[in-house]
């Protein structure tokens, strides 16, 4: 064995580059070239390298065979995979590659087609989805990763800088430890990629055969006639996968979990959306509990089309309101429960401007999540160094997962919205227009409150505002009492929302005693008539949604 093997360093003499994401590509390729590495590349990657003034050898020159089938076949060739896969210390391998004039490839730089992003595009066709399944890329990644003893495989742009530094420190060589770490990462990439493809194809409803397959036995025609491959792909988000595939890269190690004695980490789904991928603009490191609260906050505030602000404490809203502006909505949300708001998390569905920031900065809060912040707002919040500001790109999360001992529970996300036209008035008295607006507002809030849940709210000066929230109680009567007890604003003339039906009249009676004049609830109890009679007796307007919003965890 030579010195190379003893030290674990292997020189890089020839590189194969084929990337979809070209960020950071040119500096890394320049670093390779500075060590005398020959660059071999394909298609758009080769063009980008040449445009930067680098000498590049086309893959067709290496293989002696042109790219073909609209680029589907370019790296699937023995002179590519032989160059990657042959073991340098195996005499028979060395003899074979020499006999067939196969040149060694020492580093492979590949990132794959953005399959998931393509699959999520509105109106994407089946043909486009299928065409974005990368074949050559994963094949090269797996070949290089398998032969990590001799070859380095680079699948992440984030590794370019560290590899550049190591090449510089070792005169153009990479260590065994680096090649092993890159290989493990590469197999994780291909595993996630294949899982994404399998999961996506499973949801394509228009791949379903609409014709009796027995017709083929009778000369019914080719399978390709059963569907139009260019028609928009329809994702059946209401269905649940036959196999649950969860492969997500670790994004961050958190200080601890819900409590200091618990370990925790954050993983992301790769879409670049939602709380997991949100951009932190300032403040302390986010904790596990911060992230849970931020998610609850954003989920609720995103329900509203008009400016809205929600203040969350331990995943439950303590104050929520819509308004003419962010400042207006915040002032109303804070007024609903200023004591509980201390140390909470705030969600805002509009860009936060300077006047709103000036007012919000007066309150101690852990974090604020919003789609954007003006320069003026950032300047004002900047005086509170520990305040976490989170800028978010909205996510579409079709399913909710919860781990239980021995397995996972999966359900579709609760996206059900109720329109006024869908409500059934159950009582003699109908809600007034103002009560109806307050009822719809309170119903939206109630969906995001832990069960059993009662939400008192009002429609005040043209906007919805919570008055008192009873969350997470074992009895619906207790939830009604607790919500009234938490009220700071006047309860007289408010409305109430219940996330599930009133099983007995007693809960409704507590709501009425608190001052509510109208109630929204799912209905469906075997004692609905008793509850309706109580509402009529108390002159309460009551509407049924026919929809329940339990939130157990």
The pTM of the full predicted model, rounded to 2 decimals, is 0.71
pLDDT confidence of residue 41: 86
Mean pLDDT of the chain: 86
Work out the pLDDT band at 217, boundaries 50, 70, 90.
very low
Cα separation, 302 vs 307, in Å, equals: 10
Give me the active site residues, please.
146, 314
pLDDT digits over 395-409, tens only? 888 888 899 999 989
Listed range (49-63, 120-134, 340-354, 489-503) with the worst mean pLDDT: 120-134
pLDDT, average across residues 452-477: 95
Q: Is 229 strand, coil or helix? A: coil
pLDDT, average across residues 505-510: 96
pLDDT, average across residues 111-125: 72
Helices 91-99 and 78-85: crossing angle, nearest 10°? 160
pLDDT, average across residues 259-277: 91
pLDDT confidence of residue 224: 34
Residues in the chain: 553
pLDDT confidence of residue 215: 34
Cα separation, 28 vs 33, in Å, equals: 9
pLDDT digits over 405-422, tens only? 999 898 888 989 999 999
DSSP one-letter string for 135-168: SHHHHHHHHHHHTTTT-EEE--GGGHHHHHHHHH
pLDDT confidence of residue 5: 44
Question: Looking at the predicted structure, is the pLDDT value of residue 225 above 70?
Answer: no
Sheet containing strand 495-498, strands side by side:
279-282, 388-391, 367-370, 345-348, 308-313, 316-322, 463-470, 454-460, 495-498, 518-521, 541-544, 424-425
pLDDT, average across residues 251-280: 92
Question: Looking at the predicted structure, is the pLDDT value of residue 99 above 90?
Answer: no
Share above pLDDT 70 across residues of the chain, in percent, rounded to a whole number = 88
Higher pLDDT, 487 or 227: 487
Q: Measured in Å, how far apart are the chain's first and last C-alpha atoms? A: 60
pLDDT confidence of residue 426: 96
| Domains of the chain, start order | 3-202 (3.40.50.1380), 270-391 (3.40.140.20), 420-544 (3.40.140.20)
Cα separation, 435 vs 420, in Å, equals: 12
Q: Is 241 strand, coil or helix? A: coil
Share above pLDDT 90 across residues of the chain, in percent, rounded to a whole number = 60
Work out the pLDDT band at 365, boundaries 50, 70, 90.
very high
pLDDT confidence of residue 434: 96
Cis check for the bond before 452: say yes or no (omega within 30 of 0): yes
Contact 283, 385 (CB under 8 A): yes
3-state SS string for 178-207: HHHHHHHHHHHHHHHHHHHHHHHHHCEHHH
Question: Looking at the predicted structure, is the pLDDT value of residue 481 above 90?
Answer: yes
Work out the pLDDT band at 7, boundaries 50, 70, 90.
low
Q: Is 357 strand, coil or helix? A: helix
pLDDT, average across residues 301-321: 96
């Amino acid at each position: 064995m030579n010195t190379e093997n003893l030290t674990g360093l292997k020189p890089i003499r020839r590189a194969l580059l084929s990337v979809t994401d070209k960020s950071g590509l040119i500096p890394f390729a320049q670093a390779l070239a500075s060590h005398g590495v020959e660059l071999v590349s394909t298609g758009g990657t080769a063009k980008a390298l040449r445009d930067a003034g680098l000498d590049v050898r086309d893959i067709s020159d290496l293989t002696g065979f042109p790219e073909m089938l609209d680029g589907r076949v370019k790296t699937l060739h023995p002179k590519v995979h032989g160059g990657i896969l042959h073991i340098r210390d195996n005499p028979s391998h060395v003899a074979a590659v020499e006999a067939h004039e196969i040149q060694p490839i020492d580093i492979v730089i590949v990132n794959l087609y953005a399959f998931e992003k393509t699959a999520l595009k509105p109106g994407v066709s089946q043909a486009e989805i299928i065409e974005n399944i990368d074949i050559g890329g994963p094949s090269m990644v797996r070949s290089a990763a398998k032969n990590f003893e001799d070859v380095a495989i680079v699948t992440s742009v984030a590794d370019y800088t560290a590899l550049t530094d190591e090449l510089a420190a070792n005169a153009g060589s990479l260590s065994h430890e680096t090649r092993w770490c890159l290989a493990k990462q590469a197999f994780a990439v291909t595993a996630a990629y294949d899982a994404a493809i399998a999961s996506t194809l499973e949801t394509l409803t228009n791949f379903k055969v609409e014709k009796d397959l027995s017709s083929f036995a009778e000369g019914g025609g080719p399978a390709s006639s059963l569907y139009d491959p260019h028609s928009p792909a329809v994702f059946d988000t209401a269905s649940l996968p036959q196999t649950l595939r969860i492969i997500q890269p670790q994004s961050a190690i958190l200080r601890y979990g819900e409590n200091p004695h618990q370990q925790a980490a954050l993983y992301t789904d790769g879409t670049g959306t939602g709380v997991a991928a949100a951009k932190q603009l300032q403040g302390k490191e986010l904790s596990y509990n911060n992230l849970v609260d931020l998610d609850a906050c954003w989920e609720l505030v995103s329900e509203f089309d008009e400016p809205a602000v929600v203040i969350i404490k331990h995943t439950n809203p303590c104050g929520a309101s819509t308004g003419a502006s962010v400042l207006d909505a915040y002032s109303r949300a804070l007024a609903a429960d200023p004591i509980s708001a201390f140390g909470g998390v705030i969600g805002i569905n509009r860009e936060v401007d300077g006047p709103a920031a000036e007012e919000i900065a007066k309150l101690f809060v852990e974090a604020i999540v919003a789609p954007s912040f003006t320069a003026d707002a950032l300047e004002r919040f900047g005086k509170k160094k520990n305040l976490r500001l989170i800028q978010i790109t909205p996510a579409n999360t079709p399913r909710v997962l919860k781990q239980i001992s021995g397995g996972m529970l999966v359900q579709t996300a609760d996206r059900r919205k109720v329109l006024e036209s869908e409500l059934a008035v159950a009582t003699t008295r109908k809600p007034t227009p103002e009560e109806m607006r307050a009822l719809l507002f309170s119903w939206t809030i109630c969906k995001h409150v832990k069960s059993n849940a009662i939400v008192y709210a009002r429609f005040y000066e043209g906007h919805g505002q919570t008055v008192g929230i009873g969350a997470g109680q074992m009895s619906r009567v207790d939830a009604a009492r607790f919500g009234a007890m938490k009220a700071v604003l006047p309860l007289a003339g408010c409305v109430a929302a219940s996330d599930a039906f009133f099983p007995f009249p007693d809960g409704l009676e507590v709501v009425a005693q608190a001052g509510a004049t109208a109630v929204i609830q799912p209905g469906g109890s075997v004692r609905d008539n008793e509850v309706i009679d109580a509402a009529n007796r108390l002159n309460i307007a009551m509407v049924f949604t026919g929809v329940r919003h339990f939130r157990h965890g």
